[in-house]
Amino acid sequence: MFSNLENEILFAARLLLGGAFVFAGLRNIQNQAFLTQLMATRGVPQARLALWAGIIVQIVAGGLVIAGIWTAFAAACLILFLLVATPMFDNFWDHQGPERAARINGFIANVALTGGFLALMAQPL
């Protein structure tokens, strides 16, 4: 049925990982006013420009991961994105109760995504 199951599994992994970021980037376009304000209140200089830079990274690098083009580079870009975005948006240490639990879950999910991208980077080119 499948001539090379490893290739199909790797494509599914790239589709899921990259697709999540393409989707998130498109969603962030819709929420740009809220996100810009949130980033500005957290002290991010040029919050609107920083948000758009992040959106572009999410969509372009996510698309490259899906396509299998420059996969290691795109995965590294998304890891860097996660290193910046995670403490900004999943700052569980500033929250209590259910909000803290939700932020911890987001933090853990981003750690897991980082692991997935590291695994992609370890694949032969």
The domain segmentation of the chain, as residue ranges, is 5-121
Reply yes or no on whether the pLDDT at 26 is more than 70. Answer: yes
Name which of 65, 85, 67 is nearest 75 in CA terms.
65
Work out the average pLDDT over 97-118: 92
Position 95 scores a pLDDT of 86
Write the pLDDT tens digit of every residue in 50-66: 999 999 999 999 999 99
Write the pLDDT tens digit of every residue in 54-105: 999 999 999 999 999 999 999 999 999 999 999 888 888 888 999 889 889 9
SS3 category, 19:
helix
Position 4 scores a pLDDT of 81
pTM of the model: 0.89
Alpha helix segments (H runs only) across 31-125: 32-41, 47-67, 71-89, 97-121
